[in-house]
Structure 1
Amino acid sequence: MRLPPLERDPLTFGVEEEFVLADPVTGGVALAAPRVLELLDGEPAVTPEFLRFQVETATGIHTGLDGIRAELLGLRGLVADAAGHAGCLVLASGTPPCGDLPGLPGVTADPRYQALAERFPSLIPQAGTCACHVHVGIPSPALGVRVLAGLRPWLAPLLALGANSPFAHGVDTGWADGRYPLWSRWPTALPPLDWPDAAAYAASVDDAVRRGDAMDAHGVYFYARLSPKYPTVEVRIADVGLTVEDAVLLAGLTRALVVTILAEARAGVAPRPVPDRRVLASLTAAAREGAPGHGIDAFTGELVPQRQIVDGLLDYAGPALLAAGDLAAVERQLAVVRAGKTGAQRQRALFAEAGSPGAFVAGLAAATLAGTGAPGPASDRRPRPALPIR
């Protein structure tokens, strides 16, 4: 089939990353986010998260991967510098890898977060997972809902490529992406449905709020959703990448998928139907084994090497990657992943080499800052202010 015409101008995109703050001696979490944010003196690109051992960064609007990469490097360096002054380390890990978690006492002193903890107290003891969220600008909610349907079979390979959370409490969980089963305990942490239109999507969000499964639209945690804040599709399935290049890979692939699905929608090509059970099975397999293992092909239900599923993604989105000038960067990082250096694999290698929890988190912190250069004073490393993603 001939590919429908792609976007004439590149779609804008941006990336949000969530990080763990860790004690450099014990390796456990450090409830230092308030101090880190105080040291950053109102920097708009860095914000608090649900728990006081987390912070989140957000890039501005970009049209190319070079801009995404540069800003992510700057933001990681900025946060690490402040964290160093606060006596802790910054870790890009989907789960806190070492030590016990604080539970309710660790919830950020914000009315919304406090209310969330009161509504879902049983989920708080294992809360504090960290993701990479990729926002891609869309022309309308109607087309955005069509994009969500088209993304369903491709969420699993994105999860597998981004898997970066094999440890919890200093123990290997057996999952490449241990964040996925924890995050999926939230009532609305679900794959997007194949909604017929934007009204049906809005009704699903309203129903979740009415049932008490979410406090509001911001608390509806579909793995991919229409952002309640920006005119974007927000893909939330992957762990925060261990390195900036991991995040760049996810950003490039995600935008290319959105571009390709939009082109099909405008050409009247209907999305290939994929049963919910296959989507869920493909996600579980991807989270368990990651990119090196086997996965479930969401289209066929067959057990195949995850690499084969990723190759299918690349074939599908490759023309969009080429048109945007992103293909070389994506293929370069895919080669790294295929050489056995996913986030989960690198974490396990660091753990095997470390002689203590402190040494392990020091290795993770160094990997988190790869490519940023030596952290300097915050005033020397400030990125440009974050802009609303549109």
Structure 2
Amino acid sequence: MAVDGTNFTLGVEEEFVLLDPLDGSVALRAPDLLEHLAPEPDVTGELMRFQIETATGICRSLDEVRAELSRLRQIVAKAAEADGCLMVAAGIPPCGLREDAIMPEPRYRRMAEAFPELIDDAGTCACHVHVGLPSRDLGARVLAGLRPWLAPLLALSVNSPVENGIDSGWSSRRFPLWDRWPTARPPEEWPGAAAYDQSIGDALTRGAALDLAGVYFYARLSPSYPTVEVRIADVCLAVDDAALLAALVRGLVVTCAGTTEVPRARGARIGSALTAAARRGLDGPGIDVFTGREADQRDLLGELVDFVRPALKAAGDLDDVEQGLDSLFEHGTGAARQRRLLAEAASPGEFAADLALATMSVPTR
């Protein structure tokens, strides 16, 4: 069954870190920024007082996505500058944390009480891509089709190599930190919404999450919108990277919605592939989830593009994706660019300033 990709809307949420321009440490300025930005509806707080989240409106084209992402980054960056701090797109704070950084909202305080062993490292920043779907039953089935392709999505978006001012050895240090949460796992092969809801109910009953928003499947049915929400990616360093991610996610959703014959992969292989992607990004071998063997990570990303090529072409996204991949392969992932900036910076403050500039790089399309 062919599906018209232009009918599948897009929305993107991005989480950012606020840093002190002097030493690159986290700046606990989110409450002040939110007060200054009120009543901007598309900018909100997150778990930590050094985090800010933005959310685009409903978009139908990649041009709309890029315009919205750029607009929101500019709004927050200007407010941060006026407040004496820097807005940075990085999957984790690159230069260390501070105690008592949790936002004062009751929900976040309850999370700290329920998961005290996890909360200190919880200030990670992701990019969440939403794709609109006509029904939750279809959405639950689509989630099963996404499972084999989560690792390539992570590999292209890795953007958190620096921890406590040094190279952590991970391209996405965010992933193993986030993966410690009880519900951070791949979606299952649910036959429909009822089975999906049963899994959510089980997680809440056993205390693995406090509420629907706290169920951290790598891809899920959004608890707030009629969308599939793919949550595997680090926040992308550049808008172009985020637009590339969004196009591929929509292509995957459209492809999986249009057929019942999607490839299947074992959960253990998916886990191994995600660890390899988080460790190396696109620079090294990954795991082919269908064979269990090592394979070049760029080739695995190419297989994803081939899988969704008809959907990309139908939506008018294929040229954008091919140009985005060319740029990504030429300049490297966000993690590769962060490592170069770290090597060139004379101080943590200079590194933070360079990251802030990279975050505001102008989209090329």
Instruction: Give the TM interval when normalised to the shorter protein.
Output: over 0.9
Q: Distance in 2 between matches of 1:115 and 1:150?
A: 34
Runs of 4+ aligned structure 1 residues displaced above 4 Å come to: none
Q: Distance in 2 between matches of 1:226 and 1:67?
A: 23
Do structure 1's residue 6 and structure 2's residue 22 form an aligned pair?
Answer: no
SS class of match (1:43)? coil
Aligned ranges for residues 118-267 of structure 1 at < 5 Å? 118-264=113-259
Aligned ranges for residues 296-335 of structure 1 at < 5 Å? 296-335=287-326
Do structure 1's residue 36 and structure 2's residue 27 form an aligned pair?
Answer: no
Paired AA for residue 147 in structure 1:
V
1:21 to 2, 10, 18: 18
Paired AA for residue 283 in structure 1:
L
Paired AA for residue 279 in structure 2:
R
The CA deviation string for residues 351-378 of structure 1, in whole angstroms up to 9 with x for no partner, is 00001000001000000011179xxxxx
- Give the conservation status (yes or no) of the 8 Å contact 2:230–2:249: yes
Q: Distance in 2 between matches of 1:278 and 1:56?
A: 32
- Give the conservation status (yes or no) of the 8 Å contact 2:219–2:228: yes
How far off its partner does 1:299 sit? Answer: 1.3
The answer for the alignment partner of 2:108 in structure 1 is: 113
Deviates more, 1:322-331 or 1:247-256: 322-331
RMSD: 1.2
How far off its partner does 1:340 sit? Answer: 4.2
1:76 to 73, 88, 92: 73
The CA deviation string for residues 188-223 of structure 1, in whole angstroms up to 9 with x for no partner, is 011111112211110110111111110011110000
SS class of match (1:339)? helix
1:102 to 94, 98, 101: 98
Deviates more, 1:12-21 or 1:323-332: 323-332
Paired AA for residue 37 in structure 1:
L
SS class of match (1:200)? helix
2:271 to 276, 280, 290: 280
SS class of match (1:98)? coil
SS class of match (2:362)? coil
How far off its partner does 1:338 sit? Answer: 1.3
Do structure 1's residue 351 and structure 2's residue 345 form an aligned pair?
Answer: no
Residue ranges of structure 1 left out of the alignment (5+ in a row): 374-390
Aligned ranges for residues 377-388 of structure 1 at < 5 Å? none
How far off its partner does 1:279 sit? Answer: 0.8
Q: Distance in 2 between matches of 1:73 and 1:272?
A: 35
Query: How many positions carry a matched residue from both structures?
Result: 364
- Give the conservation status (yes or no) of the 8 Å contact 2:5–2:311: no
Q: Distance in 2 between matches of 1:71 and 1:17?
A: 11
SS class of match (1:139)? coil
| TM-score, reference length from structure 2 | 0.98
Paired AA for residue 214 in structure 2:
G
The answer for the alignment partner of 1:87 in structure 2 is: 84
SS class of match (1:205)? helix
Change (3 A) 1:278 1:83: same
- Give the conservation status (yes or no) of the 8 Å contact 1:46–1:56: yes
How far off its partner does 1:272 sit? Answer: 2.5
| TM-score, reference length from structure 1 | 0.92
The answer for the alignment partner of 1:376 in structure 2 is: none
- Give the conservation status (yes or no) of the 8 Å contact 2:4–2:315: no
SS class of match (2:127)? strand
How far off its partner does 1:271 sit? Answer: 3.0
- Give the conservation status (yes or no) of the 8 Å contact 1:336–1:342: no
Q: Distance in 1 between matches of 2:276 and 2:267?
A: 14
- Give the conservation status (yes or no) of the 8 Å contact 2:5–2:314: no
Q: Distance in 2 between matches of 1:338 and 1:74?
A: 26
How far off its partner does 1:82 sit? Answer: 0.4
Q: Distance in 2 between matches of 1:35 and 1:347?
A: 28
Q: Distance in 1 between matches of 2:5 and 2:217?
A: 29
Q: Distance in 2 between matches of 1:40 and 1:81?
A: 10
Paired AA for residue 220 in structure 1:
V
How far off its partner does 1:52 sit? Answer: 0.1
Q: Distance in 1 between matches of 2:233 and 2:262?
A: 23
SS class of match (2:265)? coil
Residue ranges of structure 2 left out of the alignment (5+ in a row): none
